[in-house]
Amino acid sequence: MLPFLKWAGGKRWLVTPEFLANLPPHNRYIEPFLGGGASFFALGPDDALICDVNPELITAYEVVRDSPEDLYKVLFEFQENHSSELYYKIRGEIPEDKVRKAARTLYLNRTCWNGLYRLNKKGEFNVPIGTKTQIVLPTDNFSMASEMISRAELLCCDFEVAIDMAGDGDFIFVDPPYTVKHNMNGFVKYNESIFSWDDQIRLKDALVRASARGARYVLTNADHESVRHLYCDIGVHKSVERRSVISGRVHGRASVTELVISV
């Protein structure tokens, strides 16, 4: 099934039937950077550990799992009343009620500019309103999503905690924020505060430890010299072409490559 969130850097384009068919046999599926969960929802594992450090994101997954019908009701309410005024009102509020908090996350994700998740230095969501007006989507299937998430262990934690839980026979799908060593890509200016080059090194070390315990993994990352050098003696490297769609400028939506490392 399709994810219920659009996430910057999401892997809907990657998780084709061919890609999924080539994943190694495994006992448990682990995803430490969950985001929109494109790989998780496409694979539909019976046993999974899915994690993210973003508490708002994890709350949304918990509500889809536990209260899908209640979530639908709030989203329909937002659908009926959507306007620029409502968008900025909802953006400026943090509800105490868990269902409304999750509905806020989905509402902003579906109506903000390009589905971008961005916080200012005060930790406030600050993405402007976009052009899309449909809040309840024809692809929504919260009942099925609830069933799939219920089969998984869901944690809000740092990626290293999740990867250190991987053991023999487990498979890890790793899709971190794309940062590089020398600040030569524009994306790093946005991500440096939340995922630094030191985090890239910490990620590599955690994956090396997991591999030594018998876990397998596929890592997607920036197709950049610094990243290739970091993993120079690890796994099989492949440059995969995709079309960039998050840029607000047409000329920024050219084809780019991403690095996929399989171990």
In this structure, the answer to whether residues 162 and 256 fall within a common structural domain is yes
- Return the minimum-mean-pLDDT range out of 79-83, 130-134, 189-193: 189-193
Helix (H) or strand (E) holding 256: strand 255-262
Residue from 170, 180, 255, 249 nearest 221 by CA: 180
Return the SS3 of 67.
Answer: coil
End residue of a domain, out of 113, 142, 171: 142
Ranges of H-type helices in 137-196: 142-150, 159-163, 187-191
* pLDDT, position 182: 55
Instruction: Give the CA distances from residue 231 to residues 182, 242, 256, in Å, rounded to whole numbers and listed in that order.
Output: 16, 21, 20
Report the number of distinct structural domains present in the chain.
Answer: 2
The Cα–Cα gap between 96 and 66 comes to 17
pLDDT tens profile 193-237: 578 899 999 999 999 999 999 999 999 999 999 999 999 999 999
What does pTM read for this prediction?
A: 0.90
Residue type at 174? V
End residue of a domain, out of 116, 142, 168: 142
In whole angstroms, how large is the CA radius of gyration of the chain? 18
Of 8 and 59, the structure prediction assigns the larger pLDDT to 59
The Cα–Cα gap between 34 and 31 comes to 6
List own/partner pairs for 74-83 with CB under 8 A and 24 or more apart.
74/99, 74/100, 74/103, 75/103, 75/106, 75/107, 75/135, 75/136, 76/135, 76/136, 78/103, 78/107, 78/135, 79/134, 79/135, 79/136, 82/111, 82/133, 82/135
CATH number at residue 47: 3.40.50.150
Let me know: does 52 contact 58? Beta carbons within 8 Å: yes
pLDDT tens profile 69-121: 999 999 999 999 999 999 999 999 999 999 999 999 999 999 999 888 888 88
* pLDDT, position 9: 83
Rounded to the nearest integer, the mean pLDDT of the chain is 90
In this structure, the answer to whether residues 48 and 67 fall within a common structural domain is no
In this structure, the answer to whether residues 174 and 48 fall within a common structural domain is yes
Range of the domain at 187: 17-53+157-262
The Cα–Cα gap between 115 and 249 comes to 15
Of 97 and 7, the structure prediction assigns the larger pLDDT to 97
Residue type at 154? L
Mean pLDDT on 116-142: 91
Instruction: Give the CA distances from residue 154 to residues 69, 92, 138, 161, in Å, rounded to whole numbers and listed in that order.
Output: 20, 27, 26, 13
Residue 5 falls inside a structural domain: no
User: How wide is the angle at C-alpha 88 spanned by C-alphas 54 and 69, nearest 5°?
Assistant: 60
* pLDDT, position 89: 97
Q: Which phi-psi region, left, alpha or beta, contains residue 73 (left: φ > 0; alpha: ψ -120 to 50)?
A: alpha
Residue 128 falls inside a structural domain: yes
